[in-house]
Amino acid sequence: MGMTMTQKILAEHAGLEEVQAGQLIEAKLDLVLGNDITTPVAIGVMKDFKSGKVFDKDKIALVMDHFVPNKDIKSAENCKCCREFAKEHELTNYFDVGTMGIEHALLPEQGLTVPGDCIIGADSHTCTYGALGAFSTGVGSTDMAAGMATGKAWFKVPQAIRINLKGKPSRYVSGKDVILHIIGRIGVDGALYQSMEFAGDGVLSMTMDDRFTIANMAIEAGGKNGIFPVDERTEDYVRSHSARKWTAYEADSDAHYEQEITVDLTELKSTVAFPHLPSNTKTIDEITDPVSIDQAVIGSCTNGRISDLRAAAEILQGRKVAKNVRLIIIPATQAIYREAIREGLIEAFIDAGAVVSTPTCGPCLGGYMGILAEGERCISTTNRNFVGRMGHVKSEIYLSSPAVAAASALTGCITDPAAL
């Protein structure tokens, strides 16, 4: 029996010729990731280890992004803990105010993630790096501590779902619409502890930013990881961002998949996830009654990249945000912020009546800079819309692409960008 992409990567990192779904393995790690929320817990766990040392100062990345710049004393203390740990262990990849960004946009940009890697991160959206043909998955802080100390992690080899993408999407349909469609189709546990492996000619029409978005939300379908094949577009991205050696893996023709799903990209429409699950989706034309909004957020590790900002700016240019709507835009990294300034996007946002923030997770997790009051509604390009996710338990979050979020900010209700 052949192996999937994920199985091949895990086999290589476990030093085995082959692995099978359900098999328990110990694999070597290429990168261990933590942020300002999860790392202090891992540091506390590491204090109980005999050595208390990190396995490789170059293979640990700590990114201060969830409550940075610090919002209160607790968040300041968490960052201080991380800062002192990074200094003590001479970590090469420590990112703080001025150099930080939202972790899952920052690390690929910094060239720290490449095809064939085996990566764990104490953040559920670590699955983002599967866009590059890497195996990457989220873990708890205890597993992060073990990974920092030993450079290894235990895995149960996941089963796999093959998702065949075909065709090319129409204008305003992006990677966010693709993954929302898939989650709406299979449910939030439809890929539970499985590898979501994307294939088909439709992959060629997906930009790297689209792929990052899709892989990022694999966890919202319960997936252990999401992974894309390495093609010319991937190679171009990696060469322009990293000097590291990398390995491209391909699934065997006889690899076993628990199920196969085909998504015809030509038929997809802008899609919105209604409260309170990412699977509660409707296409834009299925929203027959007006859904008013109080706030729109464009950013996050899902949709804060430069193409996302360009899509929003194209719609906002020369227009004004609706009265009584708050539009918050957050570039995912400093480099993206600078590029948006060079291209005039920031000026377009401010002229439209939006506010632009330094890179931070901020409102995505209900942290700060966009908390919702009781009864308020927000359309957001983030990845979760659970009860109380962005503030009051009686507030509502609607997930969408940047184009839909921008269009909705202009009209004050959820709007098809093609209708403007």
The verdict on whether omega for the bond into residue 241 sits within 30 degrees of 0, i.e. cis, is no
Adjacent-strand bridge partners of 138: 121
Task: Identify the pLDDT of residue 244.
Answer: 95
For CATH 3.30.499.10, list the domain ranges present in the chain: 5-244+255-264, 271-419
pLDDT at 74: 96
**CATH T-level assignment (fold) for domain 271-419:** Aconitase; domain 3 (3.30.499)
Burial of 379 (0-12, 13-18, 19+ CB in 10 A): buried
CA atoms within 13 A on the CB side of 100: 26
Say what the pTM is.
0.96
Query: Treating both helix axes as pointing N-terminal to C-terminal, what angle do 73-88 and 39-46 enclose, rounded to 10 degrees?
Result: 50
Give the pLDDT score at 1: 77
Distance CA 195, CA 219 (A): 10
pLDDT at residue number 400: 98
The Cα–Cα gap between 90 and 301 comes to 27
Contact 242, 129 (CB under 8 A): no
Query: In which residue ranges of the chain is pLDDT below 50?
Result: none
Cα 129 from Cα 111, distance rounded (Å): 11
- For residues 30 and 117, is the Cβ–Cβ distance under 8 A? yes
| Among the listed residues 71, 123, 64, the one whose alpha carbon sits nearest the alpha carbon of residue 97 | 64
Kindly give, in sequence order, each residue whose CB lies less than 8 Å from that of residue 287, ignoring residues fewer than 6 positions away: 272, 414
CATH of segment(s) 5-244+255-264: 3.30.499.10
pLDDT on residue 250: 96
- Give the tokens for residue 279: 């699977």
